[in-house]
Structure 1
């Protein structure tokens, strides 16, 4: 098999062990969405019954696609664009499309982490007072309706600068000393902190009512196609698959690593954390409902509303609220940082491969502009509106769309699945064959295409969030379209002359791969 030259692979960096890789992959997968999105999605889609479509989606789409990402990166030893180019030159644009998506996510994701940094300290003195909603929107962010403003919010600017400094420092230290070492520290810390939060929430008055609301199954929901669509969508949002992260991380792993066994560990660890988050969040919401004498469904929220409005209200009323607040917002910071590092690494790795740059130079070339755009757009009074729009459109019409296109192209046009399965089977504890290929080629793309079509029609029918059409056009459809165009343009640029674009595997080797995959 043709591989990257040893000196090139040494230059790119590598994780020191399978354990470090798994922790880094879990750090990428476990992010803000696990904590504030999964509980709400489960509640809205059948409660306890949602576990059925969720597990089906995990096993038939999430983990199979995770294996696809692993196979591309591990076999071709490159960033997303380089791995696609080595698989087939015609597919390089898919890798750059993923790079563009990661750049977009990085610039707004950092802002949410900055909010969480401030709220970790706000929790100690409960700075939001008696009106958490008013404090967040009016005093902290100073939101002033729709439109774009240039008024800087110093309370966001300073922590945002700190977040970018921390992330760029971690990335500058390298794959093992930066990304790997931080994951070894942060992931166990995150699990401990969130476990303590969950235990504390379970002992709050009314916690049982919240858990009943979450886990009481509505079996009739299983006949609703939208519930199954929600499960498949959640898996892709949550596992960090389909937009280059796992391709990049897999390229830093030793040749003899059991990638399929690692994938199962990562997939179920991520889902386990989501379940833990659901228990902690709904136990706390049950307390809030009882304290205010209302039903649980009247206090349920997700996203920004859950983190920065509902939880501060809980903290103000709960015994030991300061501890709950520090644990909750501290967990958001840690989960966010590990995910942001992985997102930005996709861009850094691609630029390094394309131009043969040193790590520090690539971090500066990528991180400098990313931090600047992030500070300009999201440290102003209009930052939250822009963040909300970009997040909605990039997640749905960026990540899901490139995932569907990637699966279809690799399965049906490049015919890459037999060779990729054969590669993972060499050292994998879980063998891949025709079932895996059918899931990646048929089941997962059809399920995600349904989710994508539903979201597209809903967005056309009712403009998202009530924002002005020009804002949706620029920061929504414009952002989603821009990453696609950039992917096509960047794929046309030449690689540095020292980069080996030879596909992994000769004709005879490819035949052996197909035989092993059967």
Structure 2
């Protein structure tokens, strides 16, 4: 092993770098969103997953990385080759290089939003004119309850008899749309055969008892037409009151979704006072920020709203060039940090960014706890109601398997297990350096940032400004809704908001960059270890890869390209790779050898039950989660039919990108070992 591999200069630098790897955008955006979606009950499966999966897996990756570092390997291909003397093991390790690289490709783009928003929150207001604040509407009704009322109305409309006119019109439309297939279709004759009571209408019973392929097809198409029409029709006050009475009679628990009595709630959400809940009024409840100026700012910045007509004047951005500029700057900053040695680059960044991040988060958390929203007088919610919502569990939610899957996924996401980055950082440890205490300190730092700080900023503020139902509706739209659409509006309502806005986005940028340099490190280390490439040259190659593969992420906003990369690399891929690590380290390497490696140099006694967690509990837990996941998502895994037609080409492009990157890394692994077997191993150059 070359002596130029480098090492951590201090334990505090190691802990901060490892914590920076874990503390990312998910701590301040994804975690609060999940808490809002599932309520306080989410923390129960979250902490169970932390104890049964997160901490044991983190110790495994620390131990694997330290073990591989003894042989000059900082990445999974080389480490797996030493743990399992099999010619295929190194190719499994290729996932530990390809997956974090794929995540870095899109993560850098999201990180660049934080840099851009930091700049724009200082240099220009989000309002078109200084002092122009936007009225934020408060809803005393949960979007879920409005959906229930709409479903109540729809079920009754779909149960109505189908008239002869409706039937024959649909049949004629079918024949016109596809004359070859339906040339012999005779809708009047089919109707007459089905209409047994001769009342010129078809009931559900008549359709069910005498169904045929053509009659079923026409019935389903007519139902779709009715449902499509119903979404455009308003819900009248009479329908609202009847639906509310029926819903609450059958399910009294639904009353928690109404802040006011039924009639008063309807009056509050009937904004134009026409005794009907119109589609725009429903949209204001279900997507309260759809028309917010901060949503327009984000859409124009990302290029989601294009202005081909030069006569149309953009409010903020006409082109995508500002987003491209900040993205390239962000990628360049990452590569500059990675291009210097580990002490002057990653460790120095961690020593600056992590304390700054924590200080900024504490400043914001203190400001949140003292925040009195002007909207509280209207809806009655304070920041303490938001805190209470996060921490007060509803135990009936524990029966929801989706929540358990989400909790396990968040633990993987927040601790960065399964990414190969912990393994890479740990490879710079010396043979007898401690993994147990240092690893636990890293996990504790991450949990403090996520649960204590992350849970104390965005959601309590959103509840205080938008009310509980509004905050839930915003969170259901995704983590970006909270961070980039809701928070700028909230800062408008806050004294000194122009100060706290930049602090919030700088906090997100620091959280992002400490994670992205860690995610990119396996590719850097692989090029150095296996090909002897210098760190600066490896950083240049990485810059080209991130820009080349990142272009579709930037230029195809709203195409599902980014979401697909996140699903395959950042979600499913992490589970599979972590499971492979457990099997190789716990079973193929051997239980006795595994335990000796994990406990060597430990500065705190590692409980014996951790051995059983790593060998038995964690793999079984993960197999169950993965099995349930695949059962729920198998259609998403194998098809694109559930996506919009205009998105399907981009989805296949994203999947092809994932396969291409994994395949190229596997080819590089094979090439590196072929060179290694035919000549002395290259010396790693800094």
TM-score over 0.5 for the pair: yes
Aligned twin of 2:302: 141
**C-alpha distance in structure 2 between counterparts of 1:132 and 1:448, whole Å:** 43
Q: Does structure 2 retain, via aligned residues, the 8 Å contact 1:288–1:299? A: no
Cα pair distance change 1:114/1:384, threshold 3 Å: farther
- Checking the alignment, whether the CA contact within 8 Å between 1:232 and 1:447 is kept in structure 2 is no
> 1: distance between equivalents of 2:626 and 2:319?
36
* Contact 1:258 1:429 survives alignment (8 Å): yes
> Cα 1:37–1:445, aligned 2, differ >3 Å: closer, same or farther?
same
Instruction: Give the corresponding residue for 2:339.
Output: 172
Distance 1:333 1:215, change over 3 A: same
Q: Please, which of 45, 68, 71 is the counterpart of residue 76 of structure 1?
A: 68
- Distance in 1 (alpha carbons) for counterparts of 2:114 and 2:456: 21
Tell me the distance in 2 between the aligned counterparts of 1:330 and 1:183.
Answer: 15
Shift in alpha-carbon separation, 1:390–1:144, aligned structure 2, 3 A: farther
Task: Report what 2:624 is aligned to.
Answer: 450
Paired position in structure 1 for 2:253 = none
Q: Say if 2:59 is the partner of 1:67.
A: yes
Q: Measure the CA separation in 1 of the matches of 2:6 and 2:300.
A: 45
How many correspondences in the alignment? 483
Match of 1:516 in 2: none
For residues 190 and 241 of structure 1, what CA distance do their matches in structure 2 show? 21
Q: Structure 2 CA distance, aligned partners of 1:420 and 1:17?
A: 26
Corresponding residue to 1:32 among 25, 31, 37: 25
Which structure would you say has the larger Rg? 2
- Alignment pair present for 1:423 and 2:597: yes
Kindly tell me: are residues 484 and 294 of structure 1, through their superposed partners in 2, closer, same or farther at Cα, counting changes over 3 Å? closer
- 1:388 is matched with 563
Which residue pairs with 2:310 in the alignment? Answer: none
Question: 1:147-200 deviations in whole A, cap 9, x for unaligned?
Answer: xxxx97111111112112211111111111100011011100000001111111
Deviation at 1:317, TM superposition (A): 2.2
- C-alpha deviation, 1:483, in angstroms: 4.7
Distance in 2 (CA, whole Å) between partners of 1:378 and 1:264 is 35
Match of 1:283 in 2: 460
Q: 1:41 — aligned with what? A: 34
1:122 to 120, 123, 138: 120
User: Are 2:108 and 1:107 aligned?
Assistant: no
Q: Is the 8 A contact 2:383 2:463 kept in 1?
A: yes
| Stretch of structure 1 that moved more, 390-399 or 131-140 | 131-140
Higher mean C-alpha displacement, 238-247 vs 226-235:
226-235
Q: Retained in 2: the 8 A contact 1:123–1:326?
A: yes
Distance 1:384 1:319 in 2: 38
Query: 1:499 — aligned with what?
Result: 681
Shift of 1:417: 4.0
Match of 1:469 among 648, 661, 667: 648
Q: CA deviation at 1:53?
A: 2.1
The equivalent of 1:220 in structure 2 is 396
Q: Is residue 99–residue 419 contact of structure 2 (8 Å, CA) maintained in 1?
A: yes
TM-aligned CA distance change 1:132 to 1:211, over 3 Å = farther
Structure 2, gaps ≥5 residues long: 129-133, 135-291, 307-317, 373-381
- Does the CA contact (< 8 Å) of 2:338 and 2:345 recur in 1? yes
- Quick one: which of 7, 10, 20 aligns to 1:14? 7
Alpha-carbon distance between aligned partners in 2 of 1:420 and 1:441, rounded to the nearest angstrom: 9
Given the alignment, which residue of 81, 85, 96 partners 2:81? 85
- Matched residues in 1 for 2:344 and 2:591: separation? 34
Summarize the Cα distance change of 1:322–1:162 in structure 2 as closer, same or farther, 3 Å threshold.
same
Instruction: Choose the corresponding residue for 1:266, options 427, 431, 442.
Output: 442
Distance 2:536 2:559 in 1: 31
* Cα pair 2:62 2:422 within 8 Å, conserved: yes
Match of 1:183 in 2: 350
The change in CA–CA distance for 1:492 and 1:416 in structure 2 (over 3 A counts) is farther
Distance 1:456 1:281 in 2: 32
After superposition, what is the alpha-carbon deviation per residue over 1:384-403, rounded to whole angstroms, capped at 9, x for unaligned?
74223312332222111211
* Local SS of the residue matching 2:500: helix
CA contact (8 A) 1:351 1:357 kept: yes
Q: 1:11 to 1:305 in 2, by over 3 A?
A: same
Maintained 8 Å contact 1:411/1:441:
yes
8 Å Cα contact 2:560/2:650 also seen in 1: no
1:158 aligns with 2:325: yes
Aligned to 2:361: 194
CA distance in 1, matches of 2:545, 2:662: 19
Q: How does 1:298-447 map to 2 (within 5 A)?
A: 298-301=473-476, 302-374=478-550, 376-382=551-557, 385-412=560-587, 414-432=588-606, 435-447=609-621
Distance 1:28 1:137, change over 3 A: same
- Going from structure 1 to structure 2, the CA distance change for 1:97 and 1:288 (only over 3 Å counts) comes to same
User: Any idea what the Cα deviations from partners look like across 1:492-516, whole Å, max 9, x if unmatched?
Assistant: 2233443399xxxxxxxxxxxxxxx
Match of 2:93 in 1: 95
Confirm or deny: 8 A CA contact 1:394 1:479 kept in the other structure: no
Q: Deviations over 1:323-354 (max 9, x none)?
A: 22111111110010111111111110011111
The whole-number CA distance in structure 2 between the counterparts of 1:426 and 1:371 is: 41
Contact kept in structure 2, 1:289 and 1:298, CA below 8 Å? no
Cα distance change on mapping 1:317 and 1:456 into 2, 3 Å: farther
* Offset at residue 473 of structure 1 (A): 2.5
> How many angstroms apart in 1 are the aligned matches of 2:414 and 2:591?
24
d(CA) in 2 for partners of 1:408 and 1:472? 31
Partner Cα separation in structure 1 for residue 653 and residue 617 of structure 2: 33
Query: Structure 1 stretches of 5 or more lacking a match?
Result: 146-150, 502-518
- Aligned counterpart, 1:148: none
Normalised TM-score (structure 2):
0.66
Farther-moved stretch of structure 1 (364-373 vs 303-312): 364-373
**8 Å CA contact 2:13, 2:347 repeated in 1:** yes
Distance 1:200 1:433, change over 3 A: closer
Is the contact between residue 21 and residue 514 of structure 2 (CA under 8 Å) also seen in structure 1? yes
